Structure 1
Amino acid sequence: MRTETTPKKNKKNSRVSQGPWVLLSLALFLAGFSIGQEWQQPGAPTATAAAIPTPVAVFSEAWSLLHEHYVDPAALDDRRLLAGALRGLADAVGDDGHTRYLTAEELVQHGERLSGEYSGVGIEITERDNTIVVRDVFANSPAARAGIQPGDVLLAVDGIPVSELGLNGVVQHVRGPEGTVVTLVLQRVGEPSPIEVRLVRSKVRFSGVRWAVLPERVGLLRVSSFAAGTAEDARQGLSELTAAGVRGVILDLRGNPGGLVDQAVDLAGLFLPPDTVVLRPRDRNGNETVYRTKPDARPVALPLVVLVDRETASAAEIVAAALQDHRRAAIVGERTFGTGTVLVNFRLQDGSALLIGKQVWVTPNGRVIWRNGIEPDIAVVPGSEDAAIVPRRGETLTAEQIRSDTQLLAAWEYLLQQDRSCRSNEGEGCP
């Protein structure tokens, strides 16, 4: 378990015979789900306890009927049917974006994301206004070498339009074994025609951490995920920004889907005092576990603003909430996603897994993130023509560049305003 803050001959008979092992897998989750409840048709007599069907019995009946009567038996792939049933089971609990079912292949990719290494082309994508957009390009990756840029719109993968694949389907098709080829068609802003790029997949070591120096000596630290090594990469970025003489830092958590809880807690420790409460997850029985910054944490004292948006989720919400609760930073942007459960990975017999939310996240001040999200101190909605700044490590950005990013511009202006206010009061309370 791992804790995270994604033959034709006799075909019909052979498929039906697999029902018991499918039911055995489902029984672990369904048995007892509603045993003992009365199910009754309107106006029908009350059933006896012995006549009440269990969910497993109903599923077995549906499984058999489908295999006995569906017009195209060749389309009945038992593995796909089981995956669909388990996916629906996980989705039905309502823990959107967190509790979920992963096939064996998806589980491998999930583990790669958390490890910080995978086989692919080195792009981070997001869905925006019904389009698939490149959010980031990882350094020294096939995509970087081919000149793919943040903001490029992905149109097709190996000849398949992205409208047919969806976001998850695009991820599945772009990734693949090292040394294999994938062809992408992209539309770049300002270019009259689409661009076709042929890439050879390779092992990509990615870091979700980028940093840059903004005008007036303000540091920008962008963290796009919480994989292994994220906190250390952020520490390195802060060290370089401090050495550059920045007078404040903007921590950009926009679009961050979360990841490993320990990395989120360690990153919070870059800004909060030693042994400070970051998170208080609570299980179904009301038992709490307290996560604190390390006793030897050495936080920076620079003024801090945190940027969030509707896609800020999971472990990223932990960090934003802790910094807000401890009044360490102002939160700028939009209300966050509201994921708010601690995931535990339960492996199933066929190599797939259920990721189950076992605890609800509670902030240091007792707020529940789940389904509520984190409300910003300063609400800023991005403009329709905005392009979120994704800095390259160590670069210097101009005032003209950051004007294309409304939320970043607002955070920058707020930080400068606070700095001026502090200094006008003869430095009282200034770091």
Structure 2
Amino acid sequence: MLKKRTAVLMVVVALISGSLLTLFLSNSSSFAGQAASGEGLFASITSGGLKSTETRKIGAALDLIEGNYYKDIDRSALVDGAINGMMQALSDPYSTYMGRETAQQFEESIEGSFSGIGAEVSLNNGNVTVVSPIKGSPAEKAGIRSKDVLLSVNGESLAGLELNAAVAKIRGVKGSTATIQVKREGVSEPIEYAIVRDDVALETVNARLRDDGIGIIEITQFSSNTAERFKKELLNLEKKGMKGLVIDVRNNPGGVLSVVIDISQQFVPQGEMIVQVEDKNGKREKSLSKGSSKSYPVTLLMNKGSASASEILAGALQQSAGVILVGDNSFGKGTVQTSFDKQLGDGSLLKITIAKWLTPDGTWIHEKGIKPDIAVTQPGYFSVAPINKEKTLKYNMNSEDVKSAQIMLDGLGIKSGRTDGYFDQGTQKAVKSFQTSQKIEANGIIDAKTAEALETMLIKHIQDPLNDEQLKQGIAEVQKEIKAMASNK
């Protein structure tokens, strides 16, 4: 029997197909200036049509299907299927074909505005897999995590589908519900989320200045306007007398290559390496900083959901600017994609991996990620699974839902004495204590009302910066450096 855990919340309309942003190399990227002369990275991007034998073979297959299949066929669907088949044969989750509508959504996502649940997904070994929930998005708040596998939507399995078809099932009318089943590593049974579709606008840069003079800038993804927004916010903080900076790229899935290079130059000294991009022939293009270092200390926060462009920023700042990295090991996505839309002629798009990127010292971090200088893991309640509201939990029960409740109670400082899933007297006492604090009937039973109140309280607790261990460590490192600089004067 499938265990069902449901969390109802407002989310954006649908997942963007393909790997949402990954590391996108557009024709305006920093290496693209060499395209016109046929030099550099773009020299390796070639085109060539089908050989006559290949044309005959594909044409023959289409004729045979059209002439003999027992149902009427849609030729355009067959052509799209053939292209999807070619992309899947690459066994690369970041190379994908997008139909006209999906391609339009992808371009919108690069511009920093899109419809989705706020998560990047890719097709990994046939599974629709979350690369990262975008920081601050409904998906992140719901508990969706990097490496989660999406199994089904509204009872329809996603197994065996190409990515665009899977995304189409997740999309829907605003206000409708997508019931999504998730398989998570380390959890024995699937988790189920009931997600209400909605439209959202995405702000990629958020900044604030603490009373102690430490600035915090969060980058949720690297869209076309992110560098400009970052520069504006950074300058504003500096004008206010900022003494040190924490850059937060946790759960940032990536974005446009030129944008992350531009942001890196705000901190990497002139002439120092930011990133290297290597094509299939082993030829490397090196991006050197045209900027300068800062006089104040900087730390960078990252986690398992920090992918691609986020990892370029982390690597550049760590190796070329002496910035301390705090948090978890990053995702590990070390390839570069570019899109081809004009060639197909109907608004559809091919996004193809054309190169790999290397850190300043030449390391390829693909499928390995970048290790933080200071490893800090968030408390367990930051990633606890939601409680099934359709079941009532009470004394002497033993289940994953009870375990989730115990972890939530402990996170709120109401100790049950155990977190193994057994509902003992200590758990009952903790539940009664919570119910009393929330003015709910203190019967020691977790029904839907108590579960919802518990989850609501936990979300507020998680959103409080005072409970963010990684952020606190990042701030502490900046404070330490500020003191050291002051003592050396």
Identity of matched residues, %: 26
Compared CA separation, residues 116 and 289, structure 1 to 2 (3 A): same
What residue identity is the alignment partner of 1:99?
A: S
2:488 match = 427
How far off its partner does 1:195 sit?
10
Cα 1:323–1:132 change in 2 (3 A) is closer
What are the Cα deviations for residues 67-119 of structure 1, in whole angstroms up to 9, with x where unaligned? 6776x735x544344434433432433433x222222222111111112345x
Does the 8 A contact of 2:253 with 2:305 survive in 1? yes
Secondary structure at the residue paired with 1:151? Answer: helix
Is the contact between residue 332 and residue 365 of structure 2 (CA under 8 Å) also seen in structure 1?
A: yes
Taking the TM superposition and a 5 Å limit, the aligned residue runs for 1:113-262 are 113-118=109-114, 120=115, 124-125=118-119, 135=134, 151-152=141-142, 161=154, 182-183=175-176, 206-214=202-210, 216-262=212-258
Distance change in 2, residues 1:403/1:116 (3 Å) = same
What code does the residue aligned with 1:124 have? G
SS at match of 1:361: strand
Distance 1:352 1:340 in 2: 25
Match of 2:380 in 1: 384
TM alignment of 1:252-291, pairs within 5 A: 252-291=248-287
Q: 1:63 to 1:377 in 2, by over 3 A?
A: farther
Q: Relative to structure 1, is the Cα distance of residues 132 and 164 closer, same or farther in structure 2, using a 3 angstrom cutoff?
A: farther
Deviation at 1:233, TM superposition (A): 0.8
Aligned to 1:73: 71
* Alignment equivalent of 1:342, drawn from 336, 350, 356: 336
One-letter code of the match for 1:416?
Q
The residue that corresponds to 1:414 in the other structure is 477
Provide the rounded CA distance (Å) in 2 between the counterparts of 1:372 and 1:56.
40
Residues 1:377 and 1:123: Cα distance change in structure 2 (over 3 Å): same
Counterpart residue number, 1:307? 301
How far apart are 1:251 and its partner, in Å? Answer: 0.9
Q: 1:403 to 1:185 in 2, by over 3 A?
A: farther
Worse overlay, 339-348 or 250-259: 339-348
Shift of 1:255: 1.6
Which shifted more, 346-355 or 310-319? Answer: 346-355
Change (3 A) 1:376 1:82: farther
In structure 2, what is the equivalent of residue 83 of structure 1? 80
Q: Which amino acid aligns with 2:360?
A: P
String of CA shifts for 1:35-70, please: whole Å, max 9, x gaps.
9xxxxxxxxxxxxxxxxxx87777667666666776
Q: Which amino acid aligns with 2:325?
A: I
| Residues 239-286 of structure 1: per-residue CA shift (max 9 Å, x gap) | 232244333211111222212111111100111223432122121222
Q: Are the counterparts in 1 of residues 176 and 197 from structure 2 also a CA contact under 8 Å? A: yes
SS of aligned partner of 2:304? coil
Alignment partners' CA distance in 2, 1:333 and 1:101: 34
Q: 1:422 to 1:100 in 2, by over 3 A?
A: same
* Contact in 2 for aligned 1:207/1:233 (Cα 8 Å): no
Cα distance change, pair 133–293 in 1 and its aligned pair in 2 (3 A): closer
**In the TM superposition, what is the alpha-carbon distance from 1:362 to its structure 2 partner?**
2.0
CA 1:29–1:263: 2 relative to 1, 3 Å: same
2:92 is matched with which residue?
A: 95
Letter in 1 for 2:141: G
Q: TM-score, normalised by structure 2?
A: 0.57
Q: Paired residue for 1:292? A: 288
The CA distance in 2 between the partners of 1:401 and 1:64, in whole Å, is 62
CA deviation vs aligned residue, 1:313-356 (integer Å, no higher than 9, x gap): 22222111111111421112223222222222223244322222
Give distance in 1, aligned partners of 2:463 and 2:26: 44
Measure the CA separation in 2 of the matches of 1:112 and 1:332.
Answer: 32
In structure 1, the gaps of 5 or more residues are 6-27, 36-53, 139-147, 155-159, 187-193, 389-396
CA offset at residue 415 of structure 1?
2.9
By how many angstroms is 1:30 displaced?
9.4
Task: Write the distance in 2 (CA, Å) between the matches of 1:216 and 1:398.
Answer: 23
1:162–1:262: structure 2 CA closer, same or farther, 3 Å change rule? farther
Which one is further off, 408-417 or 98-107? 408-417
Aligned-partner Cα distance in 2 for 1:246–1:66: 67
Q: SS at the partner of 2:467?
A: coil
Sort the Cα spacing of 1:272 and 1:55 in 2 relative to 1 into closer, same or farther, 3 A. same
- Given that 1:133 and 1:152 are in contact with CA atoms closer than 8 Å, whether structure 2 keeps it comes out as no
Superposition pairs of residues 43-82 of structure 1, within 5 angstroms: 73=71, 76-82=73-79
With normalisation by structure 1, the TM-score equals: 0.64
C-alpha displacement at 1:152, in angstroms?
Answer: 4.6
Which residue pairs with 2:26 in the alignment? 2
Whole-Å Cα distance in 2 between the matches of residues 106 and 271 of structure 1? 36
Find out whether 1:330 has 2:324 as its counterpart.
yes
Partner letter of residue 353 of structure 2?
G
Q: Is the 2:154–2:178 contact (alpha carbons within 8 Å) kept by the matching residues of 1?
A: no
SS of match in other structure, 2:118:
strand
The change in CA–CA distance for 1:267 and 1:56 in structure 2 (over 3 A counts) is same
1:192-248 per-residue CA deviation (whole Å, 9 max, x = no partner) reads xx999796x6xx764311112346432211111111121111112212322443332
Using a 3 Å threshold, how does the CA distance of structure 1 residues 65 and 4 change in structure 2: closer, same or farther?
farther
**C-alpha distance in 1, partners of 2:82/2:371?**
35
The count of corresponding residues between Structure 1 and Structure 2 is: 342
Contact 2:132 2:252 in 1 (8 A): no
Residues in 1 aligned to 2:472 and 2:83: alpha-carbon distance in whole angstroms = 44
Residue deviations 1:347-382 (CA, integer Å, cap 9, x gap): 324432222222221222111233332222222333
Instruction: State the distance in 2 between where 1:358 and 1:133 align.
Output: 22
- Assess, with a 3 A threshold, how the Cα gap between structure 1 residues 345 and 108 changes in structure 2: closer, same or farther: same
Q: Which consecutive unaligned segments of at least 5 residues does structure 2 have?
A: 1-24, 30-46, 122-128, 145-152, 180-192, 385-459
